[in-house]
Amino acid sequence: MAGRPRLKPGALLGAPTRGTTNPNRLRRVDRWMTGDRAVGALLRRTTDPLVVDLGYGASPVTTVEMGRRLRAAHPDVRVLGLELDAERVAFAQSAVEKPWLDFRRGGFELAGTRPVLVRAFNVLRQYAEDEVADAWQVMLDRLAPGGLLVEGTCDEIGRLCTWITVSADGPQTLTLSCKVSTLDRPSTMAERLPKALIHRNVPGERVHDLMSTLDTCWAAAAPHQAFGARARWMETIHMLVDRGWPVLGTPARWRLGELTFPYPSVTPS
């Protein structure tokens, strides 16, 4: 939703996105949501698990993909795609007919719904950093009890992807995800950090320390490239852990090109 947020009660809250989207662009965050324990537990314990895809863009393709992936693991999931642009909503409504899928006009106020999970991708990228917390809070206030917000950014084809998981208690985790076989160096992902962190990739900030250390470990792991990019990536993560970084998850997730950290490890100064 490019521009500055207009967080006024009783209105559609936000500004229109550019609408850019591509099939499979958000596959990495979808895969994470279907495999994450907290998200899975949330969807399983909810009688009516409504999931909102906020700011899906000019095409509803990534909303449909998210719904199919989540429903493969949690068949009761319902999905609501929200956009501020009335023409985009009308197009989505005419192009897709699924009993578990709906499209409406809406922004940060979530169209008056109470979802358990919100995916908001490439929505806050062009907002000011000091507007992020307000946008998060507006959405969090409208979630069902125990609900989660997954807010992040990715490149145009989904090879570089990062997101923050936010609960009523604040940001919980940062996840970095990439296609390892095309990775030049890990700090390339810094170009796609969420708005809350992207301007903090400077010396003296924790997220900069993380990116710098990842690059150092990646360079040191170069001999493992002989066994493939994934072997080098895994060695990079083992070195990162040895240096004291709290990498969450399991090696099975790491092999997917996915790294999750407790948010306090990268909280801005």
- Mean pLDDT score of the chain: 94
Mean pLDDT of all residues in 119-131: 94
Q: Identify the pLDDT of residue 151.
A: 98
pLDDT surpasses 80 at 1: no
Q: Identify the pLDDT of residue 4.
A: 42
Tokens 């895809």 locate to 53
pLDDT band at 20 (very low <50, low <70, confident <90, very high): confident
Q: Identify the pLDDT of residue 10.
A: 53
Structure tokens at 162: 């990062």
Q: Identify the pLDDT of residue 6.
A: 46
Instruction: Identify the structural domains of the chain with CATH numbers, from first to last.
Output: 1-168 (3.40.50.150)
* 3-state helix/strand/coil string of the chain: CCCCCCCCCCCCCCCCCCCCCCCCCCHHHHHHHHHCHHHHHHHHHCCCCEEEEECCCCCCHHHHHHHHHHHHHCCCCEEEEEECCHHHHHHHHHHCCCCCEEEEECCCCHHHCCCCEEEEECCCCCCCHHHHHHHHHHHHHHCCCCCEEEEEEECCCCCEEEEEEEECCEEEEEEEEECHHHCCCHHHHHHHCCHHHHCCCCCCCHHHHHHHHHHHHHHHCHHHHHHCHHHHHHHHHHHHHHCCCCCECCHHHHCCCEEEEEHHHCCCC
Q: Mind listing the pLDDT tens digit for each residue in 48-94? A: 999 999 999 999 999 999 999 999 999 999 999 999 999 999 999 99
